[in-house]
Chain A
């Protein structure tokens, strides 16, 4: 899907957005390819919606440019751009039936009445809402309203679909179901889609590529597995999934000193100077225990402080490896837990595989 060949469908160049003194977007550059499903992911207030609205032309950026299919749309009003949008609130017109809501955009294009009726019926079929045409939005459930909003956004056959937290107003069960449906629909009609979300699970399951944002800048762009396994910064590592942060000092190019333990690492970033303070990151599920730990480098040992049972695995909290360092979390599958001793207070030997470890400068 994310075949990065040819001309990008959307190209964002050095986009900055100021609200008075406050800078909501700082020098954002990004390329999105045809038929791609991209998620903007980040904590509240990081500028996801602002970037989406800039792409839509609803709140035009202060500086920088945006291209769609090579056309410079930076200064164009929304009506001259090509997109459909779904908001978190859906913003369905309450006084119009489902049919009239979906038809609204088509009417503005001057499509003849008969054809509108036919297209609306097809669209409602497509989003899985047949036979609800004559109801008002208030008579539908949240999930159904969401589909109507989607049908309305797709009615004019736009080249780009923008979704601002489309699922966050729904309860968990409906949300999981709709995630799948939206993704399938996007695949079926092959529309380039940008979705804003602050839910990492949503981004990981739906996106071809994820754009992780923080305080108005892009922290990382990549496929879900890239983002998960090679986070570009401690922020990304922390924001997505769970990570152990271990403070240390870069002793040589291949090793980090934690207290009196030396840990082997794979090619840390060239910008790191030997002797500097660093953060070692490793995910709890990447830490090896039991017999799998044997013969792996970076064996460490610590005392089990407490154990949480989280369904399919146990999360073991160990006392810090050295001095005032942070405690270490290790995820142990239920099967493996039968083989090793997880009694609180007992000592456990684990291995930190170098290939799963990332080293970051520790200044932030």
Chain B
């Protein structure tokens, strides 16, 4: 008999198997990627803001200059003003829209839902260009502004409301479809009027969704660069300031300082939103019964009218973008032409920039999905190494709080540093891919985690007992089961890589110019119609990809329904 002398409290040190080694190395690789892609660049940005242009440490000198120069610090107040205004307006509109979609019996709901999502397919520059054609110096309905100037706060607020509408509407829609029907029934039984029910049941049950939507809208607007770039005029906001300091004045230190000013509210909004969402999860744990609206002619008609109006506005902004890309010479010659699509005759990189964008989006979708999904798997399903996993989970959340411009600029500082061995990446396609993946990392990571959490936690244990290495079970079980989520993630990454401007505007080179940047540059040069044409190329590509994704997902669901449906 194997009798070993036993010291009673001797701690057992688990033996590390080959599988464990592979697992830990993979985790280290992903962690290293995240450190290089997000932590170190942000550190480079932060330290840059404390240096003068010779690279000496100067403490808070740059910050003091920034705050004491009214021409600079002015944009802080501007940013907050337009952001708050746009956020409140979009919350109001999106709330009613989502309310109509969930609580009324109006016809055409799925059509309205689809139309509401159109802005997602556009780079934010494009609706702003449409606004110029509507309300600019030569806009067709300029008079509707009652003498107000489009360029400035008015244009920014209008553009931003359009740009963030689908995001806010989706959050509220989810919040409303989750709320419990039993509360409404109870309220009805108690004889409460529709209005009273609204204030005593609907609003309170939606407070988390509203707060979350508020913070998301706030972050999106304050960090957006496309809209104020086109219709901001002389009205400086933080995002355009970063761009102006860096591209216009080559003042990288001040660019870093303004970036920090932009980063702070974004981080604050992000943290606040996380705290609120944590509470909401606890709230939802009880099983809710979905609400079934009952027909009410007058109410349904009002809702239909409202949604039609909003849908009409969205469609006309899209329509105006299409029209302006086809019109010969606004407003003097309105005959239609396709000459603006001859990008090769224009500055901005020509058709090459469109194909670069396709390339960027493809690589981002492929590599991004691989890194994000495998990373999420390791965070969620690997064993041991708990502190490492927690740290990695935290690192995965950081990109969400970092505005694209700030991320792009921090890449400039980090990768362009003479001592960085990764410097060879600077001005190449790979750096654009890395930056774009990082920019959209968090949302993709969270959808991967959600899908993984729905899988039986014992799959990994069973696979260990059957002596299968973890990567085999990952490949043979986890990936096939999660294919719908994987497709969602790659589609999300593709569309966003097509439309993003802010993350890449500091990083492209003449060889890697991009479609979205071309929109920016052509607009800057006064070529609004070609800019709109390039914007339309982005929109139609994104739309086609979305459609392909939908067809693919549907086909897949049909083919695998034998084992998917329980």
Residues of chain A touching chain B, judged by Cβ–Cβ distance below 8 Å, are 7, 13-14, 16, 27, 53, 56-58, 60-65, 67, 70-72, 74-80, 83-85, 87, 89, 91, 93-96, 104-105, 108-109, 136-139, 152-153, 156
- Interchain CB contact under 8 A, A104 and B466: yes
List, in ascending order, chain A residues with CB within 8 A of B456's CB.
Answer: 89, 91
Residues of chain B touching chain A, judged by Cβ–Cβ distance below 8 Å, are 1-2, 4, 6, 8-17, 19-20, 456, 458-459, 461-468, 472, 476-477, 480-481, 560, 562-566
The total of Cβ contacts below 8 Å across the A-B interface reads 113
List, in ascending order, chain B residues with CB within 8 A of A153's CB.
Answer: 465
Q: How far is the CB of B400 from chain A (nearest CB, A)?
A: 29
- Interchain CB contact under 8 A, B564 and A94: yes
Q: How far is the CB of B231 from chain A (nearest CB, A)?
A: 50
Q: How far is the CB of A170 from chain B (nearest CB, A)?
A: 16
List, in ascending order, chain A residues with CB within 8 A of B458's CB.
Answer: 87, 89, 91
- Interchain CB contact under 8 A, B13 and A75: yes
Q: Give the docked Cα–Cα distance between A93 and B472 (Å).
A: 13
- Interchain CB contact under 8 A, A136 and B563: yes
Q: Give the docked Cα–Cα distance between A178 and B468 (Å).
A: 28
Q: How far is the CB of A185 from chain B (nearest CB, A)?
A: 18
Choice from A71, A77, A93 contacting B476 with Cβ under 8 Å: A93
List, in ascending order, chain A residues with CB within 8 A of B565's CB.
Answer: 138
- Interchain CB contact under 8 A, A91 and B461: yes
Known: A77-B15, A91-B456. A72 touches B4 (CB 8 A): yes
- Interchain CB contact under 8 A, A108 and B465: no
List, in ascending order, chain B residues with CB within 8 A of A77's CB.
Answer: 14-17, 19-20, 464
List, in ascending order, chain A residues with CB within 8 A of B19's CB.
Answer: 77, 79
List, in ascending order, chain A residues with CB within 8 A of B566's CB.
Answer: 138
- Interchain CB contact under 8 A, A93 and B20: no
Q: Give the docked Cα–Cα distance between A138 and B563 (Å).
A: 6
- Interchain CB contact under 8 A, A105 and B467: yes
Known: A14-B6, A77-B20, A138-B565. A64 touches B464 (CB 8 A): no
Known: A58-B461, A87-B458, A137-B563. A13 touches B6 (CB 8 A): yes
Q: Give the docked Cα–Cα distance between A64 and B9 (Å).
A: 7
Q: Give the docked Cα–Cα distance between A52 and B16 (Å).
A: 20
- Interchain CB contact under 8 A, A96 and B477: yes
Choice from A14, A74, A87, A137 contacting B8 with Cβ under 8 Å: A14
Q: Give the docked Cα–Cα distance between A72 and B1 (Å).
A: 11
> Which residue on B lies nearest to A105, using beta carbons?
B466
- Interchain CB contact under 8 A, A95 and B481: yes
List, in ascending order, chain A residues with CB within 8 A of B11's CB.
Answer: 62-63
Q: Give the docked Cα–Cα distance between A85 and B461 (Å).
A: 9
Q: Which of A53, A76, A93 has the most CB of B within 10 A?
A: A93
List, in ascending order, chain A residues with CB within 8 A of B466's CB.
Answer: 104-105, 108, 152, 156
> Which residue on B lies nearest to A13, using beta carbons?
B6
List, in ascending order, chain A residues with CB within 8 A of B10's CB.
Answer: 63
- Interchain CB contact under 8 A, A138 and B464: no
Q: How far is the CB of A174 from chain B (nearest CB, A)?
A: 18
> Which residue on A lies nearest to B16, using beta carbons?
A77
> Which residue on A lies nearest to B560, using beta carbons?
A95
List, in ascending order, chain B residues with CB within 8 A of A83's CB.
Answer: 465
- Interchain CB contact under 8 A, B12 and A74: yes
Known: A91-B456, A105-B467, A108-B466. A60 touches B2 (CB 8 A): no
- Interchain CB contact under 8 A, B8 and A63: yes
Choice from A16, A61, A87, A137 contacting B462 with Cβ under 8 Å: A87
- Interchain CB contact under 8 A, A63 and B12: yes
List, in ascending order, chain B residues with CB within 8 A of A156's CB.
Answer: 466-467
